[in-house]
Every structure is written in structure tokens, then in C-alpha cells.
Amino acid sequence: MDINTDILVVGAGPAGSLAAREAARRGVDVLLIELKSEIGSPKRCAEGVSKSGLLELGIQPDPRWIARKSNGVRLVSPDQTSVWLSEDTIELPESGYVLERKVFDKHMAMDAARAGAKIMVRTQATSLERVDNGVIVTAIHMDEEIKIHAKIVIAADGPSSRVGRWAGLDSNTKTENMESCIQYEMAGVNMVNNNVIQLYFGSCAPGGYAWIFPKGEDIANVGLGVLKTHADRPAYEYLNEFIENCPETKDAQAVEVNVGGDPVGGLVKERCGDNILVVGDAAGFVNPLTGGGINTALESGVYAGIVAAQAIDDGDYSKKNLEEYVKLTDEHIGESYDKYKKAKEYLLSLSDDELNKIAHEFVKVDIDEISPKTLIKVLIKVSPKALLKLGKLF
């Protein structure tokens, strides 16, 4: 079977669905294909998202995909010192809602369909071939081989993306920047405050952190990410140890397990080429400091959909014409990621004792008046490393 479309989007995660939505809204033909039989399953993240970020992208909150509202963050040092931050006093990028991704992702795809995009599930892209008037993507749909001819392909196929590489882009995340993550959804979690997300730092998760994201009164996502360059054991061993030692999780039971890689090296440089754009995790749209990527994946999809639709109207699918997408993502996302990367490097240089000292100083700070400059002052007071690493960031 042969299919012709203006734009082919590979992957119906948040980035792919938003790209399809925005392009379809502008009147071009869009086909969105998804490998899995059910969009959104299995989930591969802690499910935290900024509610202000959703509203900025025109996504109205729906109780069907909101598992829990969160109103702050608890940061926990190795000696269990807690720093509490409220969303009322400081911008918290991953705070607002804890999603039910299996429902949220499906709803984003439904929005794309309502805008006019065609959707094909259980459809696996297997190769990409360049032709004079675009590209041909070969895929397996319901066990049948199909050929999809498109003028532009938007690669939204996740952190292990192959579509960008097939198109000749250097869009790989280096191994040292790929966190190995594992998470349990658990029942019976005895949270001190089940309205905040919790992050645990130090040797419990080398190169990353452990988290507890509440999804109900005693239900939470409990997981962690580690960097292979810092860890000497598999991620699941660190997670099981964390759960056994944490008072909130020691009596909880897992009802689901999720594993995956999280690209925390910042944006890949080659995010576009002739007839190709790369979005979401495939292009590194993951906050290097927090590891969160839903909001920025959505945002990257919006920019890609807008730029791709304009290119179709222009009749010009060249890299030069598509580079507007790179400019938009650099300006709105990449510049802040550069700062987050430096902050991440600083945190990775700290021992458990240093993290404890920083936490001890933070509990003395009036959190109601916290700001980036205040954070830097406290860090510099405790650790001379902060002056060298962070002094020029803000």
C-alpha cells in the first residue's frame, strides 16, 4: 500500500502529537504513526509537568489526565535534611500536575486528530529513503508493509531515535549523557506531604537523583536515574536500596515498573536537515538539571508543526528553510538549557557531605524571598566550587 502526505510524524508522544496538531491546524496533510497499539502505554517518565507551561501551549487541564495536583517541591539531602519550596514563591519547572501519561498522551493525539491529522497505530517505521520530491518511509502497519511518501518527516521517536539518523543527521545522545532510569508505581506510600514532588540527592542515585511523585493519597511514582559514568551498579539495585531505606516507601508495594533512558546532555545540534525535523526526546529536549521533558517536548512539537506547515506552503523543504525551527528552539529553550547544564555539572562535583552542608544553609534562608541570586549566594557561601561554576550564570 502506498500513502502520500505532506508531513509524516513518526511517534505519537507529546512532541509528535503537538507537531501533528499544529501542522494540521494550518491546513496541510498530516499523517501521525505510532509503533505501539495503544498511545501512551507504557509510560516512561515520572509524569510531572508545569501547569503554566501547558496553558502557554493552549492545553486546557482535564481532570481525566490529572492524577494529582502538586504545589511545591521537597529537596532531600543525603542526611535527610529537607528544603521545602512552594510554587507560590518560586518558579518550579516540573511542578503543577502529576499526569496519568497513558491518558494524557492519548488526549494529545486526539487533539491532533480533531485538527485534521490522520493517525495510524501499530505502525513501525523501518527505513527512510530520499527521493527527488521528498522522502519515502517504509513501515509495517498491522503486519503489512506500506510505503509513505512525504515532503517533510518529523522524527518524534524518542531517545533512541533512528529516523534522524536514517536521514543523515548526527542526532544521537552520547552514552555519557544518557541516564539509566527505573521507576515503580507504588501503593502504600506513606508520604509526609502527598501534595509535593520529592527529590532525593547524593549517592542514593549517582549522577542523578531519586524521586517520589504523588499520584494519590498513598500512590506515587518512585524512581531514580543514574549516569553510567558515576554509578557502579544497575539502576534497579539503587532503586531497591532507596525504597528499603526511605521511611515513606519501605512498606509500599509496586504495581507497575517502567524503565528507559533519559537524555540529559542538552539539545542535539543537528535538529533539522532537508525534509527532516527532530523533536522531543529524540532531539534532547530534556532539562539537563531536572531530567524533565514533557513541557519542552510539547513546545518543540509546536515549533516544528508551525515551521513544517509554513515550509509546505512555501514549497521549500530544504534545511535552510527549516532552520527557523532551530532558531526558535535555541531562543526559547536552548539558552536556558545551557545554564541548567552548568548547574548540573556543579551538582555532580559535590560529595554527600557538601550536599548536606548546602541543605543546612538553605533551611536558614527565608524561602518566601528565594530567587536565583539568593540560591547562588547560599551555594557560594557553602562551597567555593559554586563561585567558579555558577558565578556568571545569573
CATH of the domain at 198: 3.30.9.10
- Is the residue at 273 inside a domain? yes
**Distance (Å, whole) CA 297 – CA 320:** 23
pLDDT of residue 93: 57
Q: In the Cβ-directed half-sphere of 329, how many Cα atoms lie within 13 Å? A: 34
Specify the DSSP class assigned to residue 389.
H
* C-alpha grid cell, residue 322: 527549516
Between 84-88, 273-277, 352-356, the lowest mean confidence (pLDDT) is in: 84-88
The last residue of one of the domains, among 216, 235, 263, is: 263
pLDDT mean over 203-228: 96
**Distance (Å, whole) CA 140 – CA 145:** 4
CA-derived radius of gyration, the chain: 21
Same domain, 193 and 240: yes
Q: Are 194 and 70 in contact (CB under 8 A)?
A: no
pLDDT mean over 30-34: 98
Instruction: Check residues 175 and 110 and name the one with the higher pLDDT.
Output: 110
In three state form, how does the secondary structure of 317-348 look? CCHHHHCHHHHHHHHHHHHHHHHHHHHHHHHH
Q: How far is CA 317 from CA 21, 179, 311, in A?
A: 19, 34, 6
How many residues make up the chain in this entry? 394
Same domain, 73 and 36: no
Does the pLDDT value for residue 196 go beyond 70? yes
Same domain, 136 and 252: no
pLDDT mean over 289-306: 93
pLDDT of residue 378: 66
Q: How confident is the model at residue 173 (pLDDT cuts 50, 70, 90)?
A: confident
Coarse DSSP helix, strand, coil percentages of the chain, rounded to the nearest 5 percent: 35, 30, 35
Q: How far is CA 331 from CA 152, 169, 273, 291, in A?
A: 23, 21, 19, 20
**At 376, phi and psi to the nearest 5?**
-65, -40
Share of the chain above pLDDT 90, in %: 71
Q: How confident is the model at residue 374 (pLDDT cuts 50, 70, 90)?
A: low
pLDDT of residue 387: 65
Does the pLDDT value for residue 323 go beyond 90? yes
pLDDT of residue 92: 60
The span from the first CA to the last CA of the chain, in angstroms, equals 55
pLDDT of residue 125: 98
Does the pLDDT value for residue 41 go beyond 90? no
- Is the residue at 55 inside a domain? no
pLDDT of residue 384: 67
What are the residues facing 138 on neighbouring strands?
127, 147
Same domain, 227 and 350: no
- The verdict on pTM exceeding 0.85 is yes
The pLDDT mean for the chain works out to 91
Helix and strand numbers (H, E) in the chain are 12, 18
Does the pLDDT value for residue 389 go beyond 80? no
Between 127-131, 261-265, 334-338, the lowest mean confidence (pLDDT) is in: 334-338
Does the pLDDT value for residue 316 go beyond 70? yes
Q: How confident is the model at residue 342 (pLDDT cuts 50, 70, 90)?
A: confident
Same domain, 208 and 256: yes
**Distance (Å, whole) CA 206 – CA 241:** 13
**Distance (Å, whole) CA 93 – CA 66:** 17
Q: How confident is the model at residue 87 (pLDDT cuts 50, 70, 90)?
A: confident
Domains: count for the chain: 3
Same domain, 79 and 228: yes
- Is the residue at 107 inside a domain? yes
pLDDT of residue 69: 92
pLDDT mean over 89-104: 79
Q: How confident is the model at residue 241 (pLDDT cuts 50, 70, 90)?
A: very high
pLDDT of residue 358: 86
pLDDT of residue 113: 98
User: Which structural domain, as residue segments, surrounds residue 145?
Assistant: 2-46+102-173+266-322
pLDDT of residue 361: 81
pLDDT of residue 160: 79
pLDDT of residue 171: 80
Same domain, 134 and 211: no
Q: How confident is the model at residue 62 (pLDDT cuts 50, 70, 90)?
A: very high
Nearest to 291 by CA among 207, 393, 228, 170: 207
Question: Residue 195 carries which side chain, given as an amino acid letter?
Answer: N
User: In 10 A of CB 138, how many CB atoms?
Assistant: 14
- Is the residue at 371 inside a domain? yes
Instruction: Check residues 46 and 225 and name the one with the higher pLDDT.
Output: 225
Q: What is 205-274 written as a DSSP string?
A: STTSEEEEEE-SSSEEEEEEEEETTT-SS-HHHHHHHHHHH-TTTTT-EEEEEEEEEEE-S---S--EET
Same domain, 112 and 225: no
CATH number at residue 299: 3.50.50.60
Does the pLDDT value for residue 368 go beyond 60? no
- Is the residue at 338 inside a domain? no
